[in-house]
Amino acid sequence: MNVEITYNPISIQDAIDKVARRDVGAITTFIGTVRELTHGRKTLHLIYEAYESMALKKLQQIRTEITEKWKNSEVAIIHRLGRLEITDIAVVIAVSTPHRKDAYEANRYAIERIKEIVPIWKKEYWEDGEEWIGNQQGTISYPSGKPKEEE
């Protein structure tokens, strides 16, 4: 499967293997990791949660958009949920195309679209507090944490 949500550590090589083909000349990867400092605040760890069924649909939509816009491309997107520590990998995107320019452009498109449309939230735990961060409008406040997944 070329789009995945997992609670396990992500293998970069698995993502690359999903897009490697004999007829491509470029494979780009984006590896999103948990950073220690965000806007001057020290992060202790993150918790990622998602509306999983919708997140998978949206990741597949992004994959389809890319393969339609960049002909002869292949895409793999793997996003991790759960508790992540500093330097853990949160997301890997691998894109293969016949030429490097398209691979770079498509990979950047993928991460920007993930941030725009995929219902994945992270709770940042800092030394001085915590906050849920949403995917579209920056910070999203929910009275009881994150929204509940529809049945």
Neighbours of 120 (CB within 10 A): 25
Q: Which two three-digit tokens encode residue 61?
A: 């939509």
Kindly give the confidence (pLDDT) of every residue in the chain, 151 residues in length, as a single tens digit, with 9 standing for 90 and above.
Answer: 899 999 999 999 999 999 999 999 999 999 999 999 988 899 999 999 999 999 999 999 999 999 999 999 999 999 999 999 999 999 999 999 999 999 999 999 999 999 999 999 999 999 889 999 876 444 333 333 444 443 3
In this structure, is residue 143 part of a structural domain?
no
In this structure, is residue 123 part of a structural domain?
yes
In this structure, is residue 52 part of a structural domain?
yes
Rounded distance between C-alpha atoms, residue 57 and residue 73, angstroms: 19
- The total number of structural domains in the chain stands at 1
Q: What CATH number does residue 97 fall under? A: 3.90.1170.40
In this structure, is residue 150 part of a structural domain?
no
In this structure, is residue 149 part of a structural domain?
no
